[in-house]
Amino acid sequence: MAIPVSITKLLDENVVEWARIEFNEGWNPDTTLKTISAFANDIDNWGGGYIVIGAKEENGKLVNPIQGLNEESVDHIQKEILRYCKFLKPTYIPQSEPVYYEGKLLLLVWCPGGYERPYQCPKKPTIKNSEKIYYIRKLASTIEATDLDVKELISLTHNIPFDDRVNIRAELSDLKYPLIRNYLESVNSNLLATIENKKIEDLARDLRIADGPKEYFKPLNVGLLFFNDNPEKFFPYSRIELVNIPDPTGQGMEERIFRGPIDQQLKDVLNYIKNNVIAEKVFKIDGQAEAKRIKNYSYEALEEFISNAVYHKSYQEYEPITIRIEKEQIEITSVPGPDRSISDEDIKSYNMRTRRYRNRRIGDFLKELHLVEGRNTGIPTAIKSIKDNGSPLPKLLTDENRTFFSVIVPIHDAFKENKKTKEGVKKRRTKSEIKDLILSVLSDGDYSASVIYKKIGYSGNISKTFKNCINELIVDGKITNNGENITSPKSVFKIVK
Cα dihedral 98, 99, 101, 107 sign: negative
Taking each helix axis from N to C end, the angle separating 464-475 and 431-442, rounded to the nearest 10 degrees, works out to 70
pLDDT at 159: 62
pLDDT at 268: 97
pLDDT at 352: 76
Cα dihedral 266, 269, 274, 275 sign: positive
pLDDT at 11: 84
Distance of CA 18 to the CA centre of its chain: 37
Taking each helix axis from N to C end, the angle separating 378-389 and 299-312, rounded to the nearest 10 degrees, works out to 160
pLDDT at 373: 65
Cβ neighbors of 491 (< 8 A, separation 6 or more) are 448, 449, 481, 482, 484, 485
What's 349's DSSP letter? T
Per-residue confidence of the chain (497 residues) as pLDDT tens digits? 568 788 888 888 766 777 789 999 999 999 999 999 999 998 887 778 999 999 988 876 788 889 899 989 999 999 999 999 999 999 999 999 999 999 999 999 999 888 778 999 999 998 888 999 999 998 888 999 999 988 888 876 656 788 988 998 999 999 999 999 999 888 888 788 888 888 999 999 888 899 888 888 999 999 999 999 999 999 999 999 999 998 776 677 899 999 999 999 999 999 999 999 999 888 776 666 677 889 999 999 999 999 999 999 999 999 999 999 999 999 999 999 988 778 888 888 888 776 566 788 898 888 888 887 655 567 888 999 999 999 999 999 999 889 999 999 999 998 886 544 443 334 578 888 888 889 888 888 888 888 888 888 787 788 889 999 999 998 899 999 887 787 787 888 999 88
pLDDT at 355: 55
CA distances from 247 to 217, 272, 327, 332, 356 (A): 52, 18, 6, 19, 41
